Amino acid sequence: MLEASTILKERDFKVEEPYGRQLEELIADCNQYLPTFDEAMIRHAFKLSYWAHRNDRRASGEWYIAHPIAVARIVVREIRLDDVSVGAALLHDVVEDTDLSLEIIRAEFGEEMALLIDGLTKIRGIYANRALGQAENVRKLILSMAQDVRVIFVKFGDRLHNMQTLGSLPPAKQLKIATETLMLFAPLAHRFGLQRIKSELENLSLKVLEPEAYSSIVLGLRESKQERDSYINQFIVPLRERLQQYGFEFDIKGRSKNIYSIFHKMQAQNKPLEAIYDVFAIRIILKTRGQKGKEDCWRVYSIITDLYKPLPERFRDFISVPKSNGYQSLHTTVLDADGRRIEVQIRTEEMDEIAERGMAAHWKYKEGVNKADTKMDQLLNWVHDLMENPDSEQATEFVQEFSLDLYTDEIYVFTPRGDLKTLPKNATPVDFAFQIHTDIGFHCIGAKVNGKMVPLSYKLRSGDQVEIITSKKVTANPDWIKFVVTHKARSRIRHRINEERRAAVRYGRQLWEKKAKRAKLSVSEEELVRLAAQFKYSTLAQMFYEIASGLLDVQDLIQYMRTGDAPESVDIDAPTESGITFRETAQYKGAETLLINGERIKGLATVYASCCNPIPGDAVFGYTSKAGSINIHRTGCRNAAHLLVNYPDRIQSCAWSRQKDVRFVVGLRVVGEDRVGIVHDLTTVISRNLKTNIRSMSVRTEDGFFEGTIILHVSDLQHLKRLIGRIRRVESVRGVYRFEE
Ligand code: MN
Measured in angstroms, how far is the CA atom of residue 657 from the centroid of ligand 1?
74
Measured in angstroms, how far is the CA atom of residue 42 from the centroid of ligand 1?
18
For 375, the 3-state DSSP assignment is helix
Cβ distance 402 to 190 under 8 Å?
A: yes
Q: Which of 556, 457, 572 is nearest to 516 (CA)?
A: 556
DSSP state of 167: G
For 283, the 3-state DSSP assignment is strand
Measured in angstroms, how far is the CA atom of residue 92 from the centroid of ligand 1?
6
Q: What is residue 390's predicted lDDT score, i.e. its pLDDT?
A: 42
**Other C-beta atoms within 10 Å of 612: how many?**
22
Q: Which of 474, 475, 476, 507 is nearest to 586 (CA)?
A: 507
User: Which positions ≥6 away from 122 have C-beta within 8 Å?
Assistant: 144
Measured in angstroms, how far is the CA atom of residue 558 from the centroid of ligand 1?
78
Q: How far apart are CA 90 and CA 73, in angstroms?
A: 9
- Show the DSSP H helices in 165-210 as ranges: 171-180, 186-191, 195-209
Measured in angstroms, how far is the CA atom of residue 327 from the centroid of ligand 1?
29
Measured in angstroms, how far is the CA atom of residue 460 from the centroid of ligand 1?
33
Q: Which amino acid is at 208?
A: V
Q: Which of 114, 110, 187, 113 is nearest to 156 (CA)?
A: 187
Q: How far apart are CA 364 and CA 380, in angstroms?
A: 14
Q: What is residue 345's predicted lDDT score, i.e. its pLDDT?
A: 93
Q: Which amino acid is at 473?
A: K
Tell me the pLDDT tens digit for each residue of 171-210.
877 887 887 788 778 877 877 778 889 999 999 999 988 8
For 469, the 3-state DSSP assignment is strand
Largest Cα–Cα distance of the chain, in whole Å? 113
Q: What is residue 165's predicted lDDT score, i.e. its pLDDT?
A: 93
Cβ distance 105 to 114 under 8 Å?
A: yes
Measured in angstroms, how far is the CA atom of residue 158 from the centroid of ligand 1?
5
Measured in angstroms, how far is the CA atom of residue 726 from the centroid of ligand 1?
56
655 φ, ψ (degrees, to nearest 5): -145, 170
420-424 and 316-317 beta bridge pairing: unpaired
Q: What is residue 588's predicted lDDT score, i.e. its pLDDT?
A: 35
Cβ distance 708 to 638 under 8 Å?
A: no
Tell me the pLDDT tens digit for each residue of 690-730.
667 777 888 887 777 788 888 888 877 778 888 888 888 88
335 has which bridge partners?
Answer: 309, 341
Provide block-wise average pLDDT over 10 residues at a time, the chain (741 residues): 58 79 94 88 92 87 92 91 91 89 90 87 60 50 62 90 90 79 79 84 91 89 84 88 92 83 81 74 90 91 90 84 78 85 90 75 42 47 48 45 43 74 85 91 86 86 83 77 86 82 88 88 83 79 82 80 56 31 33 59 69 77 78 78 71 67 77 82 76 78 80 80 83 80 48
What kind and span of H or E run contains 254?
A: strand 250-254
User: Which positions ≥6 away from 324 have C-beta within 8 Å?
Assistant: 191
Cβ distance 708 to 469 under 8 Å?
A: no
Residue 94, Cβ density class (10 Å: 0-12 exposed, 13-18 middle, ≥19 buried): buried
Write out the catalytic residue numbers. 96-97
